[in-house]
Structure 1
Amino acid sequence: MPLAHGLPAALVILAAMTLPGLALDATAKGELAPTGTLRVGLIQAPSAGLIFVGRSSDGKPDGVTADLSADLAKKMGLPLAVTMFSNSGAAAAALQAETIDVSFMPVDAARKQVLDFGPGYYDLESTYLVTGASGIVDVAQVDRSDLRVVAIDGTTTIRASARTLTQTQPVAVPSVAEAIERMRTGGADAFALSRDTLQPIVAQVPGSRIVTGGFQQTQVAIAVPKGRPAALASVTAWLAEAKRSGLVRGIFDAHGFSGDAVAP
C-alpha cells in the first residue's frame, strides 16, 4: 500500500500544501493522473455558467471550470486533456468508471456514495424557468398535474425536483440544449436547473421567466474517483489555496459573475 494511503487525510493535505507550487510526489501524481495526463471532464451548454462551459471562437472550452481546470493542471505540473459531457450525470459516470480523473459538479447523497468530493467553490440554488403561458411566478406553483417539467438526466437537480414535486414529475432530457428546444417549441412548461445557468437562457426562450424561490441548495465541488486519497488531498489543497488567494474570485469576475459569491 502506498505511504499516502496510510496517512490521515489532514496530514496528506498539509503535506501537499507545503510543497512548492503544490507539486505532487509520485504517489499523489500516480493517483491524480494515472495515465500521466490530467483528464478533466467538463459539462457543456449553449451558455456558460458557474458549472457549464461553452466554446470560444477557436472551439476551446470556455468558462469558469475550464479556467479552474487549466490552473489545476498547471499547479500540479501535468498536461491537461479535457472531455466534454452533455450533463453532469455523464461526467459522474465517467469519474466512477475512471475514464476521467477530475470534474466539477453539484454534490448530493447519491454522488457521495460513488465519488469523493473536495471543497465547494459555489453555493448553488436549483429552481425553474417557466413559460409565459404557464402564468407561474413562484416555485410552489410548478407542482401542478398539468405541468410538463423537464430536467437534465442523471443530475442532482432532476433528483431533487422529483423528490419535491408531488403532482407531476420531471422528464429527463440529455442536455441543456434539448431542454431549451422543448421550452421554445411548446414541448415543456418548466425547466429545472441552477439559477445561475438559467439566467442567460431567459433570452433564448421568449416570454419565459425564472420563478422566485428554489427547491434545492447544494455546493458545486471538485470531484475525483473513490479510492484515491492522495489525489483527493491534492485537489483539496489546490482549491483551498485558489479560494484563499482570490484566484476563484478573479475567474468568476472575468466570466461576468461578479455578483455571485465564492463558497466559503
Structure 2
Amino acid sequence: MPVSPSVVQAFAPTGRLRASINLGNPILAGRGPDGEPKGVSIDLAREFGRRLGVEVELVVFDSAGKSVDAVSQDKTDIGFFAVDPKRAEHIAFTAPYVLIEGAYLVQDESALKANEEVDRAGQRVMVGLGSAYDLYLTRELKNATIVRAATSPSVVDEFVAQGVEVAAGVKQQLEADAKRLPGHRLLPGRFMVIQQAMGCPRSRGEEAARELARFVEERKANGFVAEALNRHRIEGASVAPPQA
C-alpha cells in the first residue's frame, strides 16, 4: 500500500528520515569493522526509509537516554527504544519487535544468589543513565540504591571502579563483560524482559504513528526482523509476537 504524502511529510519534514540510533545496546546496533553503524535497528531504519521513498540519515548516540531525548525533542524522526510509560509521554510507540532479557552481574564472592535478593538495604545497583533498566528499577526497587553510569556500555567498568554490589543491563552485554573481567558472574535468569519497539514524536500525529505500527507488524510477519537477528548473529533476543 502506498504511503500518503502527508505521512511522508510527517516523518521526513527535512526531506530525509532522521533515525535516532543507540549504540549502547549491542543487540540492536554497533559498529562494523569499517566503523559504520550496523545492526537490526539500522536495517529497520533503512527499510522504513525505502517504504517512505526518502533517504535515511543515521543520527548516532552512545546511550539510550540521548537517543530518546532526540526523538522526544523532535530532533530526529524515528527511534528504537524499550517501551516505557515515561518515554511514552512524548513518543508514540509501536508494538515491540524484539524482546530482550535484562540481568544482574555480581562479583563471584557476592552472597547474592537470586534476582529477588538484590532489592535490599545496603545494596547498590549500577545502571546506565536513562536506560530502560534505570527507568524500570527506579520504579521497582524499594530498598536498594541506584547508582548511574553515564552510558550503558560503561556500566560494568564503573561498577568495578566504584566497588558497587550489582550491575544491571542487557544480558548479552553483561555476559561479554563477565568474560572480559574474570571474577564476576550473572545471577540466574532475568529480572525483566525489555519490549524493544520503534517510536516517533507524538507531534507527528496519529496517522504517522499508525503507519509506523503497521510497518513493524509487517516486518515481524514477513520474517524481516528474524532474518536481521540471524544476519547480525544476535543471540538471546527473540522476535516479539504479533500485536493482538
TM-score using structure 1 length: 0.83
Distance in 2 of aligned mates of 1:95 and 1:28: 17
Distance in 2 of aligned mates of 1:259 and 1:111: 24
Report the Cα offset of residue 205 of structure 1. Answer: 2.7
Answer yes or no: is the 8 Å Cα contact 1:183–1:190 preserved in 2.
yes
Structure 1 pair 258–90 and aligned structure 2 pair: CA distance change class (3 A): closer
Structure 1 pair 66–204 and aligned structure 2 pair: CA distance change class (3 A): farther
Answer yes or no: is the 8 Å Cα contact 2:100–2:237 preserved in 1.
no
Q: Give the corresponding residue for 1:254.
A: 231
Distance in 2 of aligned mates of 1:142 and 1:243: 35
Letter in structure 1 aligned against 2:76: I
Q: Give the corresponding residue for 1:30.
A: 9
Answer yes or no: is the 8 Å Cα contact 1:63–1:255 preserved in 2.
yes
Distance in 2 of aligned mates of 1:235 and 1:166: 36
| Superposed CA offset, 1:23-54 (max 9, x none) | x3220111011111110111113x721x3x22
Distance in 2 of aligned mates of 1:135 and 1:208: 12
Q: Secondary structure at the match of 2:96?
A: strand
Q: Give the corresponding residue for 2:124.
A: 148
Report percent identity of matched pairs. 26
1:48 pairs, out of 5, 22, 26, with: 26
Q: Give the corresponding residue for 1:245.
A: 222
Deviates more, 1:136-145 or 1:34-43: 136-145
**How many residues are matched?**
240
Q: Give the corresponding residue for 1:201.
A: 177
| Superposed CA offset, 1:147-197 (max 9, x none) | 331111122311221233233221111112321212343532211123344
Report the Cα offset of residue 249 of structure 1. Answer: 0.5
Q: Secondary structure at the match of 2:239?
A: coil
Distance in 1 of aligned mates of 2:199 and 2:149: 23
Q: Secondary structure at the match of 2:95?
A: strand
For residues 75-224 of structure 1, the aligned pairs below 5 Å read 75-185=51-161, 187-224=163-200
Answer yes or no: is the 8 Å Cα contact 2:97–2:220 preserved in 1.
yes
Q: Secondary structure at the match of 1:236?
A: helix
Distance in 2 of aligned mates of 1:116 and 1:123: 18
Which runs of 5 or more residues in structure 1 are unaligned?
Answer: 1-17
Answer yes or no: is the 8 Å Cα contact 1:149–1:189 preserved in 2.
yes
Q: Secondary structure at the match of 1:220?
A: strand
Answer yes or no: is the 8 Å Cα contact 2:96–2:195 preserved in 1.
yes
Q: Secondary structure at the match of 1:154?
A: coil
| Superposed CA offset, 1:206-236 (max 9, x none) | 2222212433334110010003223222222
Q: Secondary structure at the match of 2:60?
A: strand
1:236 pairs, out of 213, 237, 242, with: 213
Structure 1 pair 96–239 and aligned structure 2 pair: CA distance change class (3 A): same
Considering only aligned residues, what root-mean-square deviation do their CA atoms show, in Å? Answer: 2.0
Answer yes or no: is the 8 Å Cα contact 2:100–2:236 preserved in 1.
no
Distance in 2 of aligned mates of 1:66 and 1:189: 35
Distance in 2 of aligned mates of 1:133 and 1:66: 40
Distance in 1 of aligned mates of 2:141 and 2:60: 30
Structure 1 pair 136–198 and aligned structure 2 pair: CA distance change class (3 A): same
Answer yes or no: is the 8 Å Cα contact 1:180–1:204 preserved in 2.
no
Report the Cα offset of residue 259 of structure 1. Answer: 5.5
Which runs of 5 or more residues in structure 2 are unaligned?
Answer: none
User: Which structure has greater helix proportion?
Assistant: 1
